[in-house]
Amino acid sequence: MFWEWFVETLRTAIFASSQVCGGNIAGGILIVSVCVRLALFPLTLWLAKMSARRQAVLTKMKPELNRLRKRFQDRPERLAEETQRLFQREGTSPLPLAGCLGGVAQMPVFLGLFSAVRKCAAFGGKFFWVQNIAKPDAILALLVAATTCGAVAVTRTTPEQNKALLLLLPAVMTVVALWQLSAGVALYWGVSSLFSLLQATIVRRTEPAA
């Protein structure tokens, strides 16, 4: 099947890349993870910018949407019609179809790499203070959680009223997950978090605030 071939190709790439680092599996995981994220970065950055622009438009539209809801609260068909016209006038859509399709298109790549990393990490090996990447590492889990928090904090679309919860929740979920997974998977997760942080920083600096 294609899926098995895809995962095996990524696994082979990790082992081949590890030879650059003297046969260190952790080095191979980092190299392939960075390469995959770099290859997908133009797409993920474009999607993030689209999301930021759409959020800015929705923020601008909010007063008018509230006015329409109040005016046509007893006429749902007219409300739907006027809302659609408003979205068309602002050049956006109630459903971010392009963003959804872009996210779905990336998912097999990330899942395939995750599966390949898990298989490779099972062979073990050292990484700085980590004595065996086949086992969980608490320090690495906390570092990855901190990076995840940073990415959420930098993301402008995070609602201010829920920001504390939205910062804490991903961090807790990351620590809980990585407490059970190998340090090799944590390395892959950490690379993804760093790219998310970089992406959020670029979007924040290049896209105008709402």
- In this structure, is the dihedral angle defined by the CA atoms of residues 100, 103, 108 and 111, taken in order, positive or negative? negative
How does pLDDT run across 73-98, given as a tens digit for each residue? 888 888 888 888 888 887 777 676 66
Distance from C-alpha of 122 to C-alpha of 133, rounded to nearest angstrom: 8
Closest-CA residue to 117 (of 31, 40, 209): 31
Q: Are the beta carbons of 150 and 196 closer than 8 angstroms?
A: no
pLDDT tens-digit series, residues 143-198? 999 998 888 888 755 555 566 777 788 888 989 999 999 999 999 999 999 998 99
**What stretch of H or E contains 147?**
helix 138-154
Residue 99, both tokens: 């963003």
Helices (H) and strands (E) in the chain, counts: 7, 0
User: Which pLDDT tens digit goes with each residue over 115-154?
Assistant: 999 999 999 889 989 999 999 999 999 999 999 888 888 8
**pLDDT at site 143:** 94
Out of 42-46, 58-62, 119-123, pick the least confident.
58-62
Q: Which residue has the higher pLDDT, 112 or 51?
A: 112
